[in-house]
Structure 1
């Protein structure tokens, strides 16, 4: 931010730069003082930048206080539905859906053993049956998405993860994991409000 100019004079009288220096200094026809060389060197220091930033911040705060304005404080408010969005008259009862899954999966899968040829059709059947059960307890204008993952239990670990983009005020989900010595099953039900 600061610009430093260095001027150095020497006692040598007949140097070729003398005329240039005299023109710059406006000494035409005046007695010569020797050669002068002018160096412009801009030096920026980090501490100088920080000091300037602090100073301007303090000036802004003072100016605001003098004008009688107070800087508003930002407050974090709890999640609220946007005013332009339609809101459901009833929300989904997630605990009720959770209880349905907890009662249905052990009864349906029981002591089933893993059969790789039968699993694709079994997963489709499970998904449709869970969807039909959940539709009975859903409020109006909700759509249901059911994802069932079924696999063989072995020496490996499996992690099932999902992400959704939705309205947290109206939409919800429930999931349940069932395991027996041969298989594992993860059933996830997503209830999405249709505007």
Structure 2
């Protein structure tokens, strides 16, 4: 009788584990998914490269639309730089360049007859990363806009 009690108490303490099969994603098994084989991309596809020509046209359009006929004013300059940067950033984002991050840099100043030097140094992959820049100026102000595109591995 004590043996039966021991067996029954053993069966009472056993917890039934549900039988579940967990399948790993197909790309982990080396199989193709519906888009084709998954591979780690070290370079952008030709169609996905940083679109410097299109971005330069965006920069020119936004600078002209925002600054044409304007006179330099410190308070307005703060507002204009923010508007320009936001507008260009949104337009570049809408180009849908996969795995690219971008930085928009704006420099706006008053025309006083003095020279202006603009230098940018970057540490990047020259095959994938790129930039484009444009300048707008009138009798009262100047604006330099640069958009950097960095491919994320």
The answer to whether TM tops 0.5 is yes
Q: Deviations over 1:155-174 (max 9, x none)?
A: 21111111100111111100
Mapping 1:75-94, distance limit 5 Å: 86-89=42-45, 90-94=48-52
The match for 1:155 is 113
Structure 1: 5+ residue stretches without partners? 1-83
Residue pair 1:92, 1:138 contacting (<8 A) in 2 also: no
The structure with higher relative contact order (CA 8 Å, sep 6+) is 2
RMSD of aligned C-alpha atoms? 1.6
Give the Å deviation of 1:117.
Answer: 2.2
Do residues 174 (structure 1) and 135 (structure 2) align?
Answer: no
TM-score (norm 1): 0.54
**Structure 1 consecutive aligned stretches of length 4 or more whose deviation exceeds 3 Å:** none
Give the Å deviation of 1:118.
Answer: 2.5
Mapping 1:106-125, distance limit 5 Å: 106-125=64-83
Greater share of residues in strand: 1
Q: What CA distance in whole angstroms lies between the structure 1 residues aligned with 2:116 and 2:90? A: 27
Structure 2: 5+ residue stretches without partners? 1-39
Q: What CA distance in whole angstroms lies between the structure 1 residues aligned with 2:113 and 2:63? A: 23
Residue pair 1:98, 1:175 contacting (<8 A) in 2 also: yes
Task: Kindly name which structure, 1 or 2, has the bigger radius of gyration based on alpha carbons.
Answer: 1
Work out the number of aligned pairs and report it.
Answer: 112
Mapping 1:33-72, distance limit 5 Å: none
